[in-house]
Amino acid sequence: MALYADGLGQYQSEYDALWQSLVPQSGHAATLQGELVRLIGRLASEYYRNGNMNWNDAFRNMAKCLETELSHHFDALPDQQAIQVYLYQMVKNGETGICYYLDGEDIYDKITDYVVTFCQQNELAVLNHCPTTYHYAY
């Protein structure tokens, strides 16, 4: 399995370029696109590097932001359902520290794929409203 965490994700070069151009060194991104890239990076890092030891309401709210924003922008019903399932499992990972795999695919990578696709389909910058809407500070 090729993982973004190993630098081998399906859209790795695109993800890396988005991170470079949209995610600040610290704090929230100015755009929704950058914030979604930052959030999936934060959630995956918390799982892979820390085993979700720091999981709290802020991480749960970050996952809710990803679920809501991605589902809102992907009109196809199967995509909406998949996003909801992956994010549900991501929250479960946070609460239990156990990683769930669906069909042999890493859920963090699947959400990263959706984030990259979202950014490619929405090239015009959208202002980031996520921290205040979903109530997370970091």
CA angle 36, 71, 14 (to 5 degrees): 40
- Say what the pLDDT of residue 73 is: 80
Indicate the Cα dihedral angle 38, 52, 54, 135, nearest 10°. 50
pLDDT digits (tens, 9 = 90+) for 39-48: 999 999 998 8
* Domain annotation covers residue 5: no
Task: Answer yes or no: is 66 within a domain.
Answer: yes
pTM of the model: 0.92
4 part of a folded domain: no
pLDDT of residue 74: 76
Residue 22 within any structural domain of the chain:
no
Kindly state whether residue 6 falls inside one of the protein's structural domains: no
Residue 72: inside a domain: yes
- Is the residue at 24 inside a domain? no
Q: Note the residue count of the chain.
A: 138
pLDDT, mean over the chain: 90
Average pLDDT, stretch 5-10? 88
Give the structural domain span for 38.
11-17+30-134
> What domain count does the chain have?
1
Domain membership flag for residue 1:
no
Q: Is the pLDDT of residue 22 over 60?
A: yes
Residue 57 neighbours by CB distance under 10 Å: 10
Q: How confident is the model at residue 65 (pLDDT cuts 50, 70, 90)?
A: very high
